[in-house]
Chains A and B, each alone.
Chain A
Amino acid sequence: MENLLEIKNLHATIDGKEILKGIDLTVKAGEVHAIMGPNGSGKSTLSNVLVGHPAYTVTEGEVYYKGKNLLEMSPEDRSHEGLFLSFQYPVEIPGVSITNFMRAAINAKRQYLELEPMNATEFLKMMREKRALVNLDSKLANRSVNEGFSGGEKKRNEIFQMAMLEPTLSILDETDSGLDIDALRIVAEGVNKLKREDTSSLVITHYQRLLDYIKPDIVHVLYNGKIVKTAGPELVMELEERGYDWIKNENKQ
């Protein structure tokens, strides 16, 4: 299988403080990777660095995505190339309807791919189909992006946008946080329906419960800015039983 994402010795800082201290990670096309770890280990930093958040600075290392140097690409181009982040805390954009927002996003991508803008009929049809996939209420689609949404609605909206943009590599950053069990199931089912043979995911989570629905091929434990353990799905159960303390103890300097 081809390497979709290759991270080599990645170091990154925010406000001068080093958070990532040498990450090595390879994701092949079609794989689902889970990244687990205690709070403050650098999970969200990793996802933000991958999508090019300007608050983070990469100080060392390389990242290749589809064989291209990811770190040289603008955040927009990373998106156009099929990289998607489901945000842990999606922001509200008052006054901008989800419909207008998605149309701008889809047409920006099409422009990048040198395609004509999508016509209105085709676009609305696509909206309907993808909405059904994640059970997103049509009323919600006419509202401003995330404005006044509940936690569950926000996360569902993220997965809806993922469905619209059909990413090659999706990063789900703590998508389970703040969700009750029903919302969690709906969101996870949406993600599973979107899974194709050639698409990959990085599922970032603190707990095991999301991974009951989204089955990972490979599980990593991130601790103190490094990946300290990599194993198969059985690692999820082990972490659930033993907690993170044994990881911490094993990695005491």
Chain B
Amino acid sequence: MKKKDNILKKIANKAYEFGFVSKIKTDIIDSGLNEDVIRLISKKKNEPSWLLEFRLEAYRHWLTLKMPTWAHLNIPPIDYQAISYYADPLKKSKEKNKEIDPELMKTFEKLGIPLEERLALSGTAVDAVMDSVSVKTTFKEELKEKGIIFCSMSEAVQEHPELVRQYLGTVVNYRDNFFAALNSAVFSDGSFAFIPKGVRCPRELSTYFRINAANTGQFERTLIVADDDSYVSYLEGCTAPMRDENQLHAAIVEIVVNNNAEVKYSTVQNWYPGDAEGKGGVYNFVTKRGDCRGKNSKLSWTQVETGSAITWKYPSCILRGDNSQGEFYSVALTNNYQQADTGTKMIHLGKNTRSTIISKGISAGKSQNSYRGLVRVSKNADGARNYSQCDSLLLGDKCGAHTFPYMDIHNNSAVIEHEATTSKISEDQLFYCNQRGIGTEEAIGLIVNGYAKEVLNKLPMEFAIEAQKLLSVSLEGAVG
């Protein structure tokens, strides 16, 4: 028995393979939050005055808010004055241009994200963000030929201020919630993508977020605009070092989808989840929302959530245009002491709008995993349809799975379907695998991947393989 315990401990420790820290000279501002800090961030980024005003307004509003407590989460108090709101790992050279530290290039290589275009495996264009700054965006020039803008948010503010100003905060207003207000006040970097009319983006666009510096928060902001008749598939990945202190990540993603346009947004979230005793890990408090403004527009969220100590996240769709479609496919896995409260909102405003929600929760260890979803059909949304399926899989008997589906229907023509199941991996299933020569951990991986298949199939190929591995790795040692 002792031997078994040791093996489990070993596995629990090695399971998170991205927990290293890079030694990079980083420009970090003092911790604390006040108007001066916001002015400093804005100045460092050489922002126009309207943006500083936007930040300050958000900050003043944030001061009036309290952290939300409605989620099924146990969040320890966060000292917002103890966090540094800006960390820049780009070495400042004497010229204005910042140089990329070779150590930084190495870090992204180690994460499997080569920043040299010739090394790109899948032909994906990448925007690599470390701490508060976008380090590099690949394939920018090639995309530009098609009229596609793909760059860091800071660069977009400089190069395309009119576009940023037109769309920023129009999907997620700073008044939306506590973390949205905080992000709007202090957001640092993130990605900006604009797909012009009639263009089908030839590459997958992706952003890779990495937290490196200690005691900092990451507050990135991503804005994607798909103009009429365009298409883009966007991927997001994230990792962080293993640290005993918790780190805050409060991002906003805004997506605008115009007439006949389609956006696919896929996330594989692997922030450091804390150790086996629940120490450390990232707080992932994120507001993601897409606005299907145009007729026949379509937005699809696919997320595989295996990381973070606490996740608070509800990627949502506002189905404003007639015949617009929203989709949400989610696998959320929690192990050890992780907590997740995640789901979606489908707001049907236009006529004949359709939405699909497939949520697969997997709880192991002593974790708590909740699905929280809202389907709202407004008075004028004739012919709206929703299909929701929320499944929970439990491993062991010390974890929890919860489902909170809300429905708010104001139109009698709506057709709403909801299905939910809860299941457990049984001893008999595991033994059946064992008898066929398959070890218990591999068997769990096989069963969990089978359970999540419907969602994994929605991911782009390379991401799907990574996600499959991740699900197995995150569950190592989950059943003793």
Contacts and interface: CB of A to CB of B under 8 A. Distances in A.
26 contacts: A52-B434, A76-B439, A90-B432, A91-B426, A91-B428, A92-B429, A93-B429, A93-B446, A93-B447, A94-B450, A95-B449, A95-B450, A96-B447, A96-B450, A97-B450, A100-B450, A101-B438, A104-B433, A104-B438, A104-B442, A105-B433, A105-B436, A105-B438, A108-B437, A112-B437, A165-B436
A101 B437 contact: no
A104 B446 contact: yes
A70 to B, nearest CB: 14
Contacts of B426: 91
B436 A101 contact: yes
Contacts of A97: 450
B122 interface: no
A108 B438 contact: yes
Contacts of A92: 429
Interface string B410-436: 000000000000010011110111111
Contacts of B447: 93, 95-96
Interface in B434-464: 434-439, 442, 446-447, 449-453
B435 to A, nearest CB: 5
Given A54-B427, A76-B439, A95-B447, 4 more contacts: A53-B431, A79-B435, A87-B432, A161-B436
Interface string A71-106: 000111011100011010011111111001100110
Given A54-B427, A87-B432, A93 B450 contact: yes
A76 B437 contact: yes
B446 A109 contact: no
Interface in B385-429: 423, 426-429
Across chains A and B, which 4 residue pairs bring their CB atoms closest together, nearest first?
Answer: A95-B450, A96-B450, A79-B437, A75-B434
Interface string A27-52: 00000000000000000000000011
A124 B454 CA distance: 23
Interface residues of B, number: 22
Nearest to B454: A95
A112 B437 CA distance: 9
A165 B437 CA distance: 9
Contact of B446 (A53, A90, A100): A100
Contacts of B429: 91-93
A208 interface: no
A177 interface: no
B344 to A, nearest CB: 22
A138 B201 CA distance: 39
Interface string B245-261: 00000000000000000
A55 interface: yes
A144 interface: yes
B437 A109 contact: yes
Nearest to B452: A95
Contacts of B450: 93-97, 100, 144
Nearest to A77: B437
Contacts of A109: 437
Contacts of A105: 433, 436-438
Contacts of B438: 76, 101, 104-105, 108
A54 B436 contact: no
Interface in B162-176: none
Nearest to A109: B437
Nearest to B431: A53
Contacts of A90: 432
Given A87-B432, A100-B446, A104-B446, A95 B439 contact: no
B457 to A, nearest CB: 11
A108 B442 contact: yes
A96 B446 contact: yes
A181 B139 CA distance: 66
A161 B450 CA distance: 19
Given A54-B427, A108-B437, A94 B451 contact: yes
B206 to A, nearest CB: 28
B110 to A, nearest CB: 27
Interface in A126-146: 144
Contacts of B428: 91
A84 B435 CA distance: 7
A188 to B, nearest CB: 21
Nearest to B360: A95
A51 B435 contact: yes
Contact of B439 (A53, A78, A108): A108
A117 to B, nearest CB: 13
Contacts of A53: 431
